[in-house]
Amino acid sequence: MRTRFAPSPTGYLHIGGARTALYSWLHARKHGGRFVLRIEDTDLERSTAESVNAILEGMTWLGLEYDEGPFYQTDRFARYKEVIQQLMDKGLAYRCYCTREELDAMREEAMKRKEKPRYDGRCRMRNESREGVEPVIRFKNPTDGVVVVDDLIKGKVVFQNRELDDLIIARSDGTPTYNLTVVVDDWDMGITHVIRGDDHLNNTPRQINLLQALGAELPIYAHVPMILGEDGKRLSKRHGAVSVMQYREEGYLPEALLNYLVRLGWSCGDQEIFSIDEMIEKFDVSDVGGAASTFNPEKLLWLNQQYIIAAEPSVIAHHLSIHLGKLGIDPCDGPDIMDVVMAQKERAQTLVEMAQISEFIYRDFENYDEAAAKKHLRPVAQAPLEQMREALAAVEDWRPEVLHQLVKDVAEALDVKMGKVAQPLRVAVVGRAASPGIDVTLHLVGKDATLRRIDKALDFIRQRAAN
């Protein structure tokens, strides 16, 4: 069993490609097969090294490790030439000297007859070359009969050979075309299962005919349906992030994205959350639905949150440090990052959000949230804040348990509910009305910053009273 992922490096690794890669990868892993990565970079104008890197980076981030490759088609031109020559030698391919004008006329006539424009094979017979025309090479497609694609996802799909014309396999400059390179590679690489997007379904009968002409064993095909945006149109940038790496930037966990992608078009009872091992165990490409699926960003966000809550805190700590770094924060200049993770992991849907809501732990904020300040930093809060400041200043053992007791004591002394002390204190220290428990919050912020920020809040209240 051998599967492959064969992206063309003309852009980033997108959601659809990642799902196809995942399905191929799972199929290989499930059956103890091998997963091959092949970079289809023969389109020299559109392929870029940058895009190759983006694809490799995306695969690595997702953890879709390949057993062989990456192979580059541009390294294999000699081999393609050899196969084209083989087809020529066997009389299964021929040079076509048709001029542009001739081809245009052929197309116009077909249109007039309301037929699909197709090459009529006239150069099969015409053997003489033409001055000034560099020929292309065409494959002699069978002229009758059918090609049946027994697709694992789509079921039996029947194509009439008379609908397929003689495919160009080499351009006039001698370079091979897409269908030829795919066929040679799938053959040489011993691919047993071709799992790819269903935008390639129409290429499949042509590829099967070529494989048969070469005497190659046919792979089994599985054409994965497209992913649509919520408006029913093909998923694109208009629908938000479509690049895998953008999800990393936005603070998603790779496991959450994989989990989301595996469920897109496939299900296993009501189960929503699958570990990688469970995916390998339960996924079967023939259970993928034949219809397009709709991408739902909210569901992905929800899954991401589930993964953040359930993940090993040290894993989250690793990701959080990266996102704090992006905010210009050195996580070493602060409390133990594991404490930050434990305090915040149920409070954020993405790691970016977790970094943002943790900023106050590392640096003083500029402004208070307006509504929070209006509600909580009022003259009535002055006495509780002053008492808290005094009590806190005397604390030597800055632990959550000690701090909790202190807030409780001050509230009791003032004969108010704990919230009347804790909320002004929270806004003073965090700048907002939401944060982890006040004891944990104070502990994370540390003593110096806590006292400094209470002083600032007291100034704010005094000024407000004076105005």
Catalytic residues: 237
Nearer to ligand GLU, 70 or 335 (CB): 70
Q: Which stretch binds ligand GLU (CB under 6 A): 1-9, 47-55, 136-144, 458-466?
A: 1-9
Of 6 and 354, CB closest to ligand GLU: 6
Distance of alpha carbon 457 from alpha carbon 453, whole angstroms? 6
Judged by DSSP in three states, 275 sits in coil
Residues between 3 and 42 that touch ligand GLU (CB under 6 A)? 6-8, 40
> CB of 86: closest distance to ligand GLU in angstroms?
21
Q: Minimal distance in Å, beta carbon 363 to ligand GLU?
A: 45
Region 64-93 residues binding ligand GLU, contact defined as CB under 6 A: none
Which residues are paired to 156 by β-bridges? 150
Identify the CA nearest to 169 among candidates 91, 101, 80. 80
CB of 14 to ligand GLU, least distance (A): 10
Stretch that binds ligand GLU, among 2-10, 104-112, 157-165, 262-270 (CB under 6 A): 2-10
| Binding residues with ligand GLU: total (CB under 6 A) | 7
Least Cβ distance, residue 285 to ligand GLU (angstroms): 14
Of the two residues 55 and 410, which places its CB atom closer to ligand GLU in the complex? 55
The b-or-e profile of 292-319 (16+ CB within 10 A means b, else e) is: bbbbeeeebbebbbbbbeebebeebbeb
Q: Which residue is nearest to ligand GLU (CB)?
A: 196
97 neighbors 129 (Cβ within 8 angstroms): yes
Closer Cβ to ligand GLU, 40 or 255, answer by number:
40
Binding residues among 348-387 for ligand GLU as defined by CB under 6 A? none
Interface residue with ligand GLU among 79, 107, 124, 200 (CB under 6 A) is: 200
Nearest to 196 by CA among 450, 399, 396, 5: 5
- Residue 196 in the binding site for ligand GLU (CB under 6 A): yes
198 binds ligand GLU (CB under 6 A): no
Element (H, E) at 30: helix 15-30
Q: Using CA atoms, how far apart are residues 228 and 23, in angstroms rounded to an integer?
A: 18
**Biggest CA pair distance of the chain:** 107
- Cβ-Cβ contacts under 8 Å for 262 (sequence gap 6 or more): 19, 22, 23, 26, 274, 279, 283
Of 194, 134, 178, 185, the closest CA to residue 2 belongs to: 194
182 binds ligand GLU (CB under 6 A): yes
Nearest distance from C-beta of residue 262 to ligand GLU, angstroms: 19
CB of 36 to ligand GLU, least distance (A): 11
CB atoms within 10 A of CB 213: 18
Residues contributing to the site for ligand GLU (CB under 6 A):
6-8, 40, 182, 196, 200
